[in-house]
A = this chain, B = another copy of it.
Amino acid sequence: MSLTEIPGGAGAALRLRAGQAVRLINTHGSQVVDTWCLSAADTTEYLSVEHTRRMLFRLFPGEGDTLFSNRRTALLLIEQDSSGCLHDMLFACCDHWLYEFYGCAPGHANCRDNFIGALVRCGIAATQVPNPINFWMNVPVLPGPRIALHAPVSKPGDWLVLRALKDVVVIFSACPMDVTPVNGEDRTPKPVAYEIID
Contacts and interface: CB of A to CB of B under 8 A. Distances in A.
A107 interface: no
B98 A58 contact: no
Contact of A146 (B57, B71, B73): B57
A131 interface: yes
Interface string A13-52: 0000000000000000000000000000000000011110
B97 A71 contact: yes
Give me the 9 closest cross-chain CB pairs, A-B, nearest first. A50-B92, A72-B97, A50-B131, A128-B128, A59-B145, A51-B92, A141-B145, A54-B91, A71-B97
A129 interface: yes
Contacts of A131: 50, 131
A50 B48 CA distance: 12
Interface of A: 48-51, 53-54, 57-60, 70-73, 90-92, 95, 97-98, 101, 127-129, 131, 141, 144-149
Say what secondary structure dominates the interface of chain A.
loop
B91 A58 contact: no
B97 A58 contact: no
Nearest to A97: B72
Contacts of A146: 57-59
24 contacts: A48-B92, A50-B91, A50-B92, A50-B131, A53-B91, A53-B147, A54-B91, A57-B148, A57-B149, A58-B146, A58-B147, A59-B90, A59-B145, A60-B145, A70-B129, A72-B95, A72-B97, A72-B98, A72-B101, A127-B127, A131-B131, A141-B141, A141-B145, A145-B145
